[in-house]
Each structure stands twice: as structure tokens, then as C-alpha cells.
Structure 1
């Protein structure tokens, strides 16, 4: 790869929370159009097609075990033409990528690590070698929740060449972002290194995202050296119990966060999600998070500098949701803050701080309890002395001048997000 990638946390849309394994081309295009019109100017740029774009019968979040997959003669998965019509005649995702790029946006895809079981059964040749799929497959290494793939034995001749062959094909399609699944838990160190080598030599700058989590904290340095972002939890959904746990995880991972390497607290399950979940009769649901909880989540993700990947069907967003994800003062903390840290956390509350580009101090006060409560922090704990203007970032207003402490009654599951200058 050329220039350093993901110098700030990536921001984009991913199809999983709304369409599961079944997103279709017209839905990807609809969300790209929305992003260009409403979000691009705020820094949102990645449009990511999640899992199983190569599976013609995918129709929900549920996987179809051992379904026939679209694949080329070299064991490389290619888009299902019935779902992605522009992929016909062997074009792959090139046309879709070109469309997304024409909007001034970036294009991403999801893959599972390894080689398709279908390729191993057919023993397809590996492009550019005299090796075959059965030479590199580790048939004891399988994904516990999806039947599509075998792992690859990184020590085998042909293993690197197979990963090179798929990454080079994706680079030809114009991808800018790749989310590789079944990689971090358990940590497939050998395949991470093969992928990094392939990405480094594909001739294109591609952000490398690892999924799912929890990624092993003891592998933090390896992750920093090889990936641009990695999941710190399992799949994150719209319930308070999971959000509560992210405070702990982000606190633990915070010291490993920095330019080009971001611990990832997972997607934002906001807006209209689960559109093809059978339990919702194919109509989906609106996020279970209250508006207060959504602000709490955004405050934490920005102060911890987690990537922001919106999960809902964006064309259905209401005005409140759009304003939630386009608050420039809040997003500035994600993009431009430093010295981010968890100052305090117990069962009932958390306090995070960071420094801004112009000398301001950012402060997040979080009520994690089931009751409204006063949360206070002394300026001395923030290493501040003197008089400061207190600004509410969510409300875009100066609310007070403080000299000793910041104190506020915060509603249950709520947060206050301030700058002090």
C-alpha cells in the first residue's frame, strides 16, 4: 500500500444490520446516493457490501447451509448476478465500484477468511501456480456459524498466491475497504499475515478491517502492525446490555488506538434495521435504542475514536437520525481529538476526556444506571486550572462558565458531551 490509510476512524455504511446476507445492488446504490447527498460533506465515505454477495438464494440474516455459490474457475467467489445485475459477463463488482466512486465515495466488501469448500471439492487450480485448492485448505479449520469456507494453512505453498489472487481481483474491481470475517476470534494470525501481504502488493490502497470480536488483547501489537481496524466485541445490536459492555471493552482497548489502527466497537444499529428478518415479517423494525441511548453511544464512540459504520437503511432515516450522525461538533471529536482516555468508570457512571486541536478539553459524562443522577468531575481531575467556557456539543450552545467542577443531573442511560475552553 502507498500512503498511510485510515488516519482517522473510517466512517461509512454497511449492509448487515438492515439486509443481513441478502443485500441487492439497487439497495447498495440507494444508500450510496443518500450518503452522497446527505453525509459525504461530514466525512462519511465508505459503502460496504456485507456477507454472502456470492450466494444467489440469500434472502435474510439466516444462512443457507451448503448453498451453491457463484465462483470462477480459480476458486474465487464472484457476485451473484441475480442480486447484482451489473456483475454479468464476468465484470464482478467493477461497475458497482465505478458507480460508488463516481459519487466521490469509497467501496468496500466483506469476505470470510479461507477458501470455499466448493472450490476444495472441485479442487480448482490456484491462479499463477501449479497448486490446487486441496493443497492449501485446512479442512479442520471451519467457521462455527457459516458453512461456506475452509481455512487456509498459511504454511502451505500456494496459500499466499490464493490470497493474492482474490485481493488482486478485488483491487481490479476498485475496492477501497475489505472486512474479513472469522479472523479475530480465534485469532487466525497466519491468515492475517497472508492478507496483509496480499493487500500491500495489490497496487491499491485498501483499508483492512478484522471481524468479528472479541479480538485478543494480547495480540494488540500484531493487530496494530497488520490491520487498520478490528472488532473488540461480537456482533453489537440495539440493546442497552450490549452498549453497557462496550464501555468496558473500549476502556480496555483505548491505549492501543491511533492513526491507521482503530479498535472497532462495531456498527451503529440505528434507524430502520432488520428489514429481511423473518420474525419481523420482512418489514424490519426501528432501532430499540432510545434517542438518549443513541446520543450516549455516539458520544462514547467519538470520544473513544471507534470507526462509525451506520447499519440502518439510510434512505428511511428520519430527520432526528440524520442530525444525530451529522453533528459537526461531535464528529470533530472523532476526527481531530487526541489524548483520549477513560478517566473513571464504575457500575453507575463513566467519564471520558480528550484534547481538541485548538486547546479545548472534551468531556463525556455518562449515566450508566437505571436512575437519574448527578455526575460531577473536578477540573483538577482534568488537569485544568482557571475559568472555562462550557459548551454543550449536542445542543450547539454555551451553557456555563466553570471554575471548579462540571456537574450535571443526567437521565438514566444518558450522556452529556461538553467542550471546555
Structure 2
């Protein structure tokens, strides 16, 4: 009976898939959560994942907006079961994925999982190729809310077709599952990904470093600044429900605090998914404060959904500008140099017209109040030039809020 029931559901899903679109209304702001790979790689198990769910709550991460807890590679058993269903490694996850998902949900979080478009995952476990609808139904039965879908062992496979198939399979389950395409930007997914997925990787894997020197004899991860450079010309492809993904966060994994702060600030400016990758159980207070900075998170989660514009590069300082809902702006001065840099930014001399968002920043016609998002201190208004010093490998990130002209507040006499 079990086999007949599954067969019926399988063919029902396939029949409805031709008309299926991705689930509406998902990821209208960039997804926020935690992923196991950057710190733990294959060293994951049920106990640790439950502890991480607990830590997401106790640390304030959940309340700050992080809700997806995602198991990356290596949760799988080396083989499928007798019905060719995916199954969890019984030693690592003795209670199975359904029970783990229930525990994650009980904490007010959402459950994310990993697989691959190829025949095997990157770590050599069963991939999804040829089992897309079957695996999608399995995920739905476990209560999965997010699927990270990698691109290893895909020789001879067309990326757009493979990801479209999995997208339709997820839609056919009628469960709201965020679809994260981890295709590394090889086939320019930003050109075709919006109808298929909620986010797509734009680069190779991130590493823990400001700049990571390429290894001529083998694969090398990308540093924070190397990834930022790859995002400059992609802003027109991002928006509510379809985001450029410059990979997960390395905050708390070994970079200095200033570089962590710059990394987090720039991911927020880029309207990037904020997927933490550190050990939440043992993070420092400095790391926690960076990851839970409500002002910076609000910039990332702004409902207008516009990725920042790199407005200017001057003496190793980049000026990035992000239009926000309601006419406000976020501005980030990123110092890529090895020494502090002075800035003197005349707001009135720099009128910004962003054709993508149809927004204008013009201090000659509109006064803005300025707040430093890392110190939460007022910095005057745009009536005067902004002067200061940005430390090495750090940022000055400010929020510009529109001020109502004083004459509007005058009482009539």
C-alpha cells in the first residue's frame, strides 16, 4: 500500500508540473538563516544541529530575523532505500529528518536541507539527478522549507534545464519551499533564474579572508573583496523574490572584527541573503553584535529590494549607495586599503539619480538626517559635508532619513 500511495503521488506531481510556477510570495526580502558548511563541513549530527537551533533562539538571532536553519552536505545515507527514497545517515541522525524538522519548527525556525543537481553531491552522497519529483515529495513530507541545490557531478547536464526541473518539482508539492540555486554563477543564472528560484549563487565559494591569493595549482575560495567585485554589475537582476547570492557569511570564523563588520555591511548593501556560517553556540559578543545589528539588517531587508550602486571609487575608498523604501538611503564608505583613509563627502555636490529604482538623492532639494549604523549616533544632516576617517578594511555605514522641512511644522497665526 505504501508503494502504491507513493506511486500515485509521484505521478500526480509529474502531471501537474507542466503548469507549475515557483511558489508565490516567498523571499520578498533576502532570506536570513544559518548554514552548517562554513564551520562544520561534513562534521554534522543531530545533537549539534539541535544545539544550533537552541542557540539561534538564545543568542537573539531568531528575533533579529534569522529563521532558516540549513543542513548542508553530508546529512545523507550513502545509499537510497529500497524504494529509491533519500534517507538520512542513521548514525548521524538516528531520529531521521522528519523528527529533526519538527524540533527546528518547535523553536520558531524553518528547516533547510541540501542536495545536488548531479548524480552525487559534492561530498559523494546520492544526488537528485533523475529523482527530482520523488525527492521534492520527500522533502515536503519532512517539512522542509528551504532547499540549497548544488552543482557538483553534473557533467553533460544543462544548468537551466536541471534547475527548472527541480523548481517545477518543488512547486508540484504545493509546499512553500525556498529554492536556492548554488550553481556558482558559471552559467549566468541571474539572466534566467528569476522565474525558477528565490536566489542564485553569483560566484564560487567564499573563504574566510579579506582577499585570498589564488592558488595556481588548485582550487581557491574567494575573499570578501573578490566577491564584492563580482557583484558590481548585477544589481538590475535582484529584487523581491529573486536575489543575487554572493555566498554565505564568514562573520565570526576568524577574520578581524573590522573585516567582519565590513563584510556584513556590504552584504546588507548588496541586498544579499544573510546566511550565517559560524558556531552560534560559542560566538563572541562582538560577533553576536555584528550579526544582530538591527539597523544594518533593516538595510538588507528593506522592502524596496534594490541592490546598492557603487557610486564612486576614490583613493581605495568605495562609496556605495542603496535606495530604500520611503525615500531614505543607506550609504557605505568601504575602505579597502591597509591604512585609514579620510573622507570628505559633499552631499550637495553629489546628486545621485538611480534609474533602476527611479530614486534621487539630492541634498539641494531635500534635507536628510544622518545616523551612523554601527555606533547608532547622529551625525548631523546633509546640509554639511560628511567628514571623517574610515579605518583600514572597515566601513562607515550611515542611514539617511528624509526630514520634513521646518516650515511645515510652523503653526499658522
Taking structure 2 as the reference length, the TM-score comes to 0.80
Alignment counterpart, residue 255 of structure 2, candidates 257, 276, 289: 289
Change (3 A) 1:187 1:416: farther
Which digits, 9 at most, give the CA deviation of each residue in 1:86-144, with x for residues without a partner?
Answer: 12xxxxx111111111111100001122345xxxxxxxxxxxxxxxxxxxxxxxxxx7x
Taking structure 1 as the reference length, the TM-score comes to 0.78
Q: Is the 8 A contact 2:346 2:385 kept in 1?
A: yes
Q: Is the 8 A contact 2:332 2:398 kept in 1?
A: yes
Post-superposition shift, 1:296?
0.6
Post-superposition shift, 1:297?
0.8
Change (3 A) 1:405 1:337: farther
Stretch deviating more after TM superposition (337-346 or 371-380): 337-346
Q: Which runs of 5+ in 1 are unaligned?
A: 56-68, 88-92, 117-142, 153-158, 272-286
CA RMSD between the two structures: 2.2
Q: Which runs of 5+ in 2 are unaligned?
A: 1-21, 212-222, 353-360, 402-413
**Aligned partners of 2:295, 2:80: CA distance in 1, in Å?**
46
Post-superposition shift, 1:148?
4.0
Post-superposition shift, 1:262?
0.8
1:265 counterpart residue number: 246
Post-superposition shift, 1:252?
2.0
2:219 counterpart residue number: none
Stretch deviating more after TM superposition (339-348 or 311-320): 339-348
Post-superposition shift, 1:270?
2.5
**Aligned partners of 2:42, 2:181: CA distance in 1, in Å?**
18
1:199 lines up with 2:180 in the alignment: no
1:75 lines up with 2:81 in the alignment: no
1:234 counterpart residue number: 204
Alignment counterpart, residue 95 of structure 1, candidates 82, 88, 99: 99
Alignment counterpart, residue 214 of structure 1, candidates 160, 177, 185: 185
Post-superposition shift, 1:39?
1.5
2:409 counterpart residue number: none
- Aligned to 1:270, the other structure's residue is in SS state coil
2:56 counterpart residue number: 35
- Aligned to 2:327, the other structure's residue is in SS state coil
Q: Is the 8 A contact 1:251 1:341 kept in 2?
A: yes
Alignment counterpart, residue 138 of structure 2, candidates 158, 169, 174: 169
Q: Is the 8 A contact 1:337 1:354 kept in 2?
A: no
**Aligned partners of 2:158, 2:208: CA distance in 1, in Å?**
26
Post-superposition shift, 1:347?
7.8
Q: Is the 8 A contact 1:100 1:106 kept in 2?
A: yes
1:44 lines up with 2:24 in the alignment: no
Change (3 A) 1:313 1:212: farther
Which digits, 9 at most, give the CA deviation of each residue in 1:14-62, with x for residues without a partner?
Answer: 011121012101111111111123211111100011102114xxxxxxx
| 1:141-156 matches, cutoff 5 A | 146-148=123-125, 152=129
1:122 counterpart residue number: none
**Aligned partners of 2:341, 2:40: CA distance in 1, in Å?**
38
Alignment counterpart, residue 362 of structure 2, candidates 371, 376, 384: 384
Alignment counterpart, residue 321 of structure 1, candidates 262, 287, 290: 287
**Aligned partners of 1:330, 1:356: CA distance in 2, in Å?**
12
Stretch deviating more after TM superposition (373-382 or 292-301): 373-382
- Aligned to 1:225, the other structure's residue is in SS state coil
Post-superposition shift, 1:302?
0.5
1:353 lines up with 2:321 in the alignment: yes
**Aligned partners of 2:126, 2:101: CA distance in 1, in Å?**
25
Q: Is the 8 A contact 2:39 2:279 kept in 1?
A: yes
Post-superposition shift, 1:256?
0.8
- Aligned to 1:320, the other structure's residue is in SS state helix
- Aligned to 1:351, the other structure's residue is in SS state strand
1:190 lines up with 2:161 in the alignment: yes
Alignment counterpart, residue 21 of structure 1, candidates 42, 48, 51: 42
Change (3 A) 1:348 1:337: farther
Change (3 A) 1:222 1:190: same
